[in-house]
Amino acid sequence: MQITQAQEWVKDAWSRSEKRMSKLAELASFMEECGELGEAIRKIEHGKDKEVDLEKEMGDILLCLLTLAIRYDIDLQNAFDRTIEATKQKYLVK
């Protein structure tokens, strides 16, 4: 699934859901998920937990990011394309 398709899927899914959150609550959810990923990575790096599911944590963050982008009318495919070009200009050897 491409970024644009994922964004459309999330938009459709939330439109059919009874769950409603404010933009600030969605931001808090995104930050919470980032914290969970950070905690999972910390556990892995310190050898404390071999059962951490980084894929799930990253998927949760992606869902939150897609949701925020929808709420702020941001085309994430376009945003990422712009970031790729900026990264090429700044970091890649020519």
Report pLDDT digits (tens) over 16-65: 999 899 999 999 999 999 999 999 999 999 987 778 999 999 999 999 99
Q: Which two tokens stand for residue 54?
A: 């980084």
Fold annotation for 3-91: Helix Hairpins (1.10.287)
Give me the count of residues in the chain.
Answer: 94
**Cα–Cα separations (whole angstroms), residue 45 to 10, 40, 48, 54, 75:** 32, 9, 8, 12, 34
Q: What is the pLDDT of residue 25?
A: 96
Higher pLDDT, 89 or 94: 89
pLDDT at 51: 83
- What is the SS3 assignment for 85? helix
pTM: 0.88
